[in-house]
Amino acid sequence: MRIVMLGAPGAGKGTQAKKIAAKYGIPHISTGDIFRANIKNGTELGKKAKSYMDQGMLVPDELTVSLVMDRFQEPDAQKGYVLDGFPRTIPQAESLDAALKESGSQIDFAVNVDVPDENIVKRMSGRRACVKCGATYHLQYAAPEKDGICDSCGENLILRDDDKPETVEKRLKVYHEQTQPLIDYYAQKNVLREVDGTLGLDEVFSQITAILGE
């Protein structure tokens, strides 16, 4: 099963993507996570990506697409995946479709996690990420056991630069201009499914499993 998660930054699509990956036994491929891992490891790709990410801008399509195409070569991605944060532009979606067509496959579902803008800024200021392992938390919805400390590895939690309010505003603008058109793109392909992202985590997930099947 090949799934694309759509939705504004902070809509909760990453959390849902992880739950989908666990339930359906497919890898969770997050371009944001891959970029962040590269930044942490000081790679060339990481250096290039960081300058865009810190400003709330998108990393250029060529860089992003080639990174995803490399990831698709891994053995675990042969039977499917849930894509989180990719595609984010129409050219990325077209490159993805072209690559899938070549291998005789297609996107089965594009799940749009719908959350109004008003809720987004509020939600993102509550996000916290582990400096070491990248695990994410939310002060209201998914708090760590100990304040400011990662449950998984015990390191400190921070508010990521790209989750700061001024960057969030910019990311929302970029989302509306460049990513939202993908909703129509996938609707035209009859694979778009909408879920109400303002509900609780478990309710959103039951809507998703109702779509994807048990």
- Mind telling me the catalytic residues? 13, 88, 127, 160, 171
> In the sheet where 136-138 sits, what is the strand order?
136-138, 127-130, 157-158
φ and ψ at residue 109, rounded to 5 degrees: -145, 140
Question: Binding to ligand AMP by residue 162, rule CB under 6 A?
Answer: yes
User: CA-CA distance, 129 to 2, in Å (whole number)?
Assistant: 27
Question: Binding to ligand AMP by residue 9, rule CB under 6 A?
Answer: yes
User: Are 107 and 3 a contacting pair, CB within 8 Å?
Assistant: yes
Which residue is closest to ligand AMP by CB?
32
> In the sheet where 81-84 sits, what is the strand order?
28-30, 81-84, 2-6, 109-114, 192-196
Q: Binder to ligand AMP among 7, 85, 123, 185 (CB under 6 A)?
A: 85
32, 67, 127, 162 from 165: Cα distances, Å: 18, 28, 11, 8
Distance in Å, CB of 154 to ligand AMP, minimum: 23
The three-state DSSP-derived secondary structure of 15-37 is HHHHHHHHHHCCCEEEHHHHHHH
Distance in Å, CB of 4 to ligand AMP, minimum: 11
Query: With respect to ligand AMP, which residue has the nearer C-beta, 27 or 32?
Result: 32
Binders in 22-81 for ligand AMP, by CB under 6 A: 31-32, 35, 52-53, 56-59, 64
Query: With respect to ligand AMP, which residue has the nearer C-beta, 35 or 205?
Result: 35
Distance in Å, CB of 213 to ligand AMP, minimum: 26
Site residues (vs ligand AMP, CB under 6 A): 9, 31-32, 35, 52-53, 56-59, 64, 85-86, 88, 92, 162, 171
